[in-house]
Amino acid sequence: MRYLKAQGDSIFYILLSIVLSVLLFFALNLVFEFATSSEGLAIMQWNRKIPFYEQINSPSKLELETEFVLKSTGNNLAIVFPKVIANRLEIYINGYFIGAFGDKTGNIWPKALVQELPEWVLKENNNLKIVLYGTVGYGMSYYPYITELSKAKVKALTVEILRNNVSLIALGAAIIISYILLFAFAIVDTPDKKMYLNIGLAMVFTIFSLIQFVYRETSGTLFAYLIFEKMALVFPIFGLTLIYFGLNESIPRKVPKFRRIVLIASPLTFAAGLFLSNRIKTINILSSVTELYAVLLIFLTLFLIVRYKMVQYYFPIIFLSLMSLQTLYVLINNSPAELMIVYGRIVFSLYIGTFTIRKFKNISEIKKFLEQENLIDKLTGAYNRKIIEYIRPGGTLIILDLDNFKEINDKYGHIYGDELLKRFAEVIKRHIRQGEDYFIRLGGDEFCIITNSLDVETMMERIYNTSKNELGLSFSYGYAPMKNFDEAYAVADKVMYENKALLKKQK
């Protein structure tokens, strides 16, 4: 039954992430089609092909020129640029300079730009010239168009909400979630402690990487702009790396073979990105390298959660992965589609934050209940036998009995024996899930664990090796499905003593 439930949960989370991704993709396309489509005069014929995005090796400018015809001129007309990737945009009509956005070290993406057209400059036949200034690249994802000023403002506002403001929301969510996770790391003492630290730091790197996604008229200097550009390239890589290592903290202590590669490659990529020279050609090469490495990290993370059946993380990781792959596809294929990685970061951040808060709430409620009901063993901090009547059937009951503990007590005394029991209890607590598994002292040196883990053998092997290595203490154990505690105890106890007898024969 537990296996079927886990399978059902896995399928649900996978389908949820895929369905939500598809719905979001089509919904955004519909909205952006409205926001970027012309209800007036679309300006599509230019003196040269407008690049979606063109990398350059030194700061330069791109001049684009065209002719357009207005059947009637008048007030309240505006030219709309739905998406310009550049540092600065200058607009000239009929030889007159009529407006500009940004400066040569600014970032005028991702905002939609609206420039009102003065009546005196317009004729029936008009010349339009725009100049794009770029540091590492420039381009336009959509053709500009001329429409009524009131309509232009509505469309620009729609784009700002869904593109620019969403980046600010993602930035705010990352700040809040990073605080929650780092606070969790500081106050808890559970197996999830290091995971909170890693994912909390991943959120910090997300914060810095999103700065380049925020509209800025200027960044002050060319040096500062290039720092922002490099942060946008390498900080997501380190964020993905920390998520990967954070999730590693939830699996058995066998180091996955890919972990060593990531442990070396990610710091090298990060250091190269931040500390290599500010040569623009180098930054463009780094851009291609980080895109490929990001794909590798995404698939490694997916492999990790599927390999170790980390069902609770299926939805946020798969959703983030789909959003990342969509963004990489857009960038590699010069597609006019919107970059959806920001939405992936928002959903991932909110899910992890909500999951952590809910876990804290459960732990707090359990702790309060236990204090009221006096269900804690004072020596070890484990539950005492009274907790058994409150535990619902289900999961696996594991019985543990320390080997030769009576001889240890007789040889070193009860004070030493009690200290050893406390240290053994700490070993157990480090390897079970706080708030989900039950660790119970049945009496003396006999303990039990009630868990819904699907891999009991791996968990017990981990505990045994830690106890043996850190305390020099071995134990015997047996386990059985727990529909009824007494029946499960009888079966597990029999298995445990059969294992003890087998070990004695082998010796």
Q: Decide the pairing of beta strands 125-134 and 60-69.
A: antiparallel
Residues 406, 89: Cα–Cα separation, whole Å = 82
Q: Annotated catalytic, 445?
A: yes
Map 85-154 to HEC letters: ECCEEEEEECCEEEEEEECCCCECCCCCEEEEECHHHCCCEEEEEEEEEECCEEEECCCCEEEEHHHHHH
β strands within 319-407, DSSP E: 396-402
Q: Structure tokens of 493?
A: 């106890």
Backbone angles phi, psi at 423, to 5 degrees: -70, -35
The H helix count followed by the E strand count for the chain is: 13, 15
Q: Which residues, other chains included, contact 20 with Cβ-Cβ below 8 Å and sequence gap of 6+?
A: 319, 347
Give whole-number Cα distances, 501 to 475, 477, 493, 505, in Å.
13, 12, 12, 6
Question: Is the distance from CB of 171 to CB of 214 less than 8 angstroms?
Answer: yes
Tell me which of 377, 401, 437, 445 is the catalytic residue: 445
> Facing residues of 77 across strands?
117, 148
Give whole-number Cα distances, 370 to 379, 384, 388, in Å.
15, 10, 12
Question: Is the distance from CB of 35 to CB of 109 less than 8 angstroms?
Answer: no
Task: Find, among 90, 91, 88, the residue nearest to 77 by Cα.
Answer: 91
Residues 402, 420: Cα–Cα separation, whole Å = 11
Map residue 28 onto helix, strand or coil. helix
Listed in sequence order, the DSSP H helices in 188-256 are: 193-209, 222-248
Q: Structure tokens of 66?
A: 């065209």
The CB density around residue 406, as the number of other CB atoms within 10 Å, is 11
CA angle, residues 364, 370, 372, in degrees to nearest 5:
105
Q: In what order do the strands lie in the sheet with 396-402?
A: 438-443, 446-451, 396-402, 475-481
Give whole-number Cα distances, 173 to 344, 348, 409, in Å.
12, 10, 54
Question: Is the distance from CB of 381 to CB of 429 less than 8 angstroms?
Answer: yes
Active-site amino acid positions: 445
